Amino acid sequence: MPRMTAARAAVEILKLEGVDAAFGVPGAAINPFYAALKASGGIRHTLARHVEGASHMAEGYTRARPGNIGVCVGTSGPAGTDMITGLYSATGDSVPILCITGQAPRAVIHKEDFQAVDIAAIAGPVTKAATTVLEAAQVPGVFQQAFHLMRSGRPGPVLIDLPIDVQQTEIEFDPETYRPLPVWKPTASRAQIEKALSYLLASERPLIVAGGGVINADACDLLVEFAEITGTPVVPTLMGWGAIPDDHRLNAGMVGLQTSHRYGNATFLESDFVLGIGNRWANRHTGYRLDVYRRGRTFVHVDIEPTQLGRIFPPDYGIASDAAAALELFVEVARELRDQGRLPDRSAWIAAHLRRKGTLHRRTHFDDIPIKPQRVYEEMNRAFGPETRYVTTIGLSQIAGAQMLHVYRPRHWINCGQAGPLGWTVPAALGVATADPGARVVALSGDYDFQFMLEELAVGAQHRIPYVHVLVNNSYLGLIRQAQRGLDIDYQVNLEFENLNSPEIGVYGVDHVKVAEGLGCKAIRVTDPAGLGAAFEQAGKLAAEHRVPVVVEVILERITDISMSTTADISDVTEFEETATEPGHAPTAIIPLGSSAA
């Protein structure tokens, strides 16, 4: 039996489980693992500037492609605690990442040794499993189980903590005979699917709510086929956006308090039956007024995690199943019903939804200087085609982007949904671009999100990871400012100051162009909406030529309120701009796939 260090065995298992990239920061307690990483080869390591950044890079890497599992590495003390935000984000959004931490020697863990911390206990609530391995011979089994857990049931992150002496201990391990454990996922029965379909058949105005579980299961084609067979419009959630193209006639738009479309909310409120697949009824989608959300509607809920069924509200019928397994049966039974002539005619319902989709838009075309944010997204739709992978996290920029951008493919809206940590966007975009180096990756941030982890831009410069970062700058914590309107305050949300070194930017404070250039990247500043298109085109060329991140900073007007509900009620969204119908102010068109405009 071959002998090797436990650290080397861990690295060999990573490769056998399909890992080819890792993100992290070396330190004394994890150096034996790094030595094994170098000696083994086959895994590309990207050095982060902040360990939280490494965890978000791992998230972006996982989210970009089916089957990916991002890995982040650091020591147990400050590095492990820094990665907790990434683990929380991954847990909330059902993203499998593996966090590997290097711990103090076993004999001193409990003696308050330098940088020793019970990271497994800290990480436990935000992982599927968190383990400090105290016996070197257990390392192969712990790693094998970690990949099994991350892939089985509802996907999610795992943390493995390795004391330095455990890493250095030699064990017997044979990589040639290692095999991954089988992945377990619940599957619906035909009887369950037939019962679920009986609710749909009895309805007059049905909808499908497609969540991130549909994308995780790589089941988007099945979703679209099922919707087409049954004539059922689809509402993607924020995490499910891209499961059905925006320009598909059955895409009914998003629903919710903030990241929603006017036509999406209107159609939902007219529905009488909702089939949720791979979604968790998140509050930004349902609102807090569940009586409004549920009134007059029957619900069937399909989710891979049995405890999600009934967690927010009791459905009329629930099925614990992987989305792909359920949709395969939904398609099979729906085909039979179609062939038997038993499917209702939904043409009137579809026509009503299309009328709303064709008229209920928010105005995007403004020529104002300073620039209104709506115009930025209009120009992004023109400049960036359907192959673009958008990456964003939180704030008015994300909310307005979700209301006004267009997404046509799964995994092309990569968004931190539940946790929404500021600073997520830069490192996540680097992870996405690492996973898909040939893709057009476009990140979207407000100025405060951008400032949280902008040091990670240097990672893109060092490792030649190109992408375009659209930075909308109003020198405000815009979402919090808008929320404070209800309290009649504007307190500690203003980022303005006179920058003595950059007087040309006035009260916008931080000179993001100089900062980005100082970190080895390229940057462009735009102050006139007429220059947005050219700036986006130039940014793409600079990214391709220099192979570094390119920041496009757009100077916005200081205060713009974005449409959303202030009453936690999806039927009561405050609109700050009327539907635009006059010439020259038409709502942004949904550009068909393959058109020259795309």
Place of tokens 């600073």: 423
90 lies in some domain: yes
83 lies in some domain: yes
Q: Are residues 113 and 257 located together in one domain of the fold? A: no
Q: Are residues 240 and 129 located together in one domain of the fold? A: no
**Which of the listed residues 135, 150, 177 is the one where a domain comes to its end?**
177
Give the pLDDT confidence score for residue 566 in this predicted structure: 85
Name which of 185-194, 220-229, 290-299, 498-507 the model is least confident about: 498-507
Q: Name beta bridge partners: 21.
A: 44
Instruction: Assign residue 302 the CATH number of its domain.
Output: 3.40.50.1220
Give the pLDDT confidence score for residue 112 in this predicted structure: 77
Give the pLDDT confidence score for residue 110 in this predicted structure: 84
457 lies in some domain: yes
Q: Are residues 558 and 491 located together in one domain of the fold? A: yes
**For 341-371, b where at least 16 C-beta lie within 10 A, e where not — what string?**
eebeebeebbeebbebbeebbbbbbbeeebb
**Measured between alpha carbons, how far is 473 from 481 in angstroms, rounded to an integer?**
14
pTM of the predicted model, to two decimals? 0.93
Q: pLDDT for 285-315, tens place per residue?
A: 999 999 999 999 999 999 999 999 999 999 9
243 lies in some domain: yes
Q: Are residues 156 and 293 located together in one domain of the fold? A: no
Q: Are residues 119 and 69 located together in one domain of the fold? A: yes
How is residue 290 written in tokens? 């569940």
User: Average pLDDT in the 121-138 region?
Assistant: 97
Q: pLDDT for 562-581, tens place per residue?
A: 999 988 999 999 988 643 33
8 lies in some domain: yes
Name which of 170-184, 197-211, 241-255, 573-587 the model is least confident about: 573-587
Q: Is residue 535 a contact partner of residue 526, using CB atoms and an 8 Å limit?
A: yes
**Which of the listed residues 143, 177, 211 is the one where a domain comes to its end?**
177
How is residue 150 written in tokens? 């991350």
Question: Is the predicted pLDDT of residue 377 greater than 90, yes or no?
Answer: yes
Give the pLDDT confidence score for residue 567 in this predicted structure: 87
Q: Which residues contact 262 (CB under 8 A, 6 or more apart)?
A: 253, 356, 360, 361, 362, 563, 573, 575, 579
Give the pLDDT confidence score for residue 531 in this predicted structure: 97
Q: Are residues 233 and 286 located together in one domain of the fold? A: yes
Q: Name beta bridge partners: 504.
A: none
Q: Are residues 164 and 209 located together in one domain of the fold? A: no
Q: Are residues 425 and 505 located together in one domain of the fold? A: yes
**Annotated active-site positions, please?**
25, 51, 422, 477, 480
Radius of gyration of the chain (CA): 25
Q: Which residues contact 310 (CB under 8 A, 6 or more apart)?
A: 318
225 lies in some domain: yes
Place of tokens 């100077």: 555
User: Average pLDDT in the 196-203 region?
Assistant: 97
Q: Are residues 539 and 397 located together in one domain of the fold? A: yes
At position 135, the amino acid (one-letter code) is E
**Which of the listed residues 177, 198, 218 is the one where a domain comes to its end?**
177
491 lies in some domain: yes
Q: Are residues 156 and 203 located together in one domain of the fold? A: no
Domain count, the chain: 3
Q: Is residue 388 a contact partner of residue 442, using CB atoms and an 8 Å limit?
A: yes
Question: Is the predicted pLDDT of residue 598 greater than 70, yes or no?
Answer: no
Shortest CA distance to 565 belongs to which of 236, 279, 211, 289? Answer: 289
Question: Is the predicted pLDDT of residue 583 greater than 90, yes or no?
Answer: no
Average pLDDT, the chain: 93
User: Average pLDDT in the 55-76 region?
Assistant: 95
Q: pLDDT for 228-275, tens place per residue?
A: 999 999 999 999 999 999 999 999 999 999 999 999 999 999 999 999
Strands (E), 134-200: 158-163, 170-172
- Please report, for the chain, how many H helices and E strands are present, in that order: 24, 21
Q: Are residues 23 and 164 located together in one domain of the fold? A: yes
At position 125, the amino acid (one-letter code) is P
User: Average pLDDT in the 88-97 region?
Assistant: 96
Instruction: Assign residue 30 the CATH number of its domain.
Output: 3.40.50.970
Give the pLDDT confidence score for residue 596 in this predicted structure: 30
The proportion of the chain whose per-residue pLDDT surpasses 90, expressed as a percent, equals: 87
Q: Are residues 94 and 199 located together in one domain of the fold? A: no
User: Average pLDDT in the 521-525 region?
Assistant: 98
User: Average pLDDT in the 445-467 region?
Assistant: 96
User: Which residues form the domain of 9?
Assistant: 3-177
Q: Is residue 47 a contact partner of residue 24, using CB atoms and an 8 Å limit?
A: yes
156 lies in some domain: yes
Give the pLDDT confidence score for residue 509 in this predicted structure: 92
Q: Is residue 389 a contact partner of residue 414, using CB atoms and an 8 Å limit?
A: yes
Q: pLDDT for 412-441, tens place per residue?
A: 999 998 888 999 999 999 999 999 999 999
Q: pLDDT for 312-357, tens place per residue?
A: 999 999 999 999 999 999 999 999 999 999 999 999 999 999 999 9
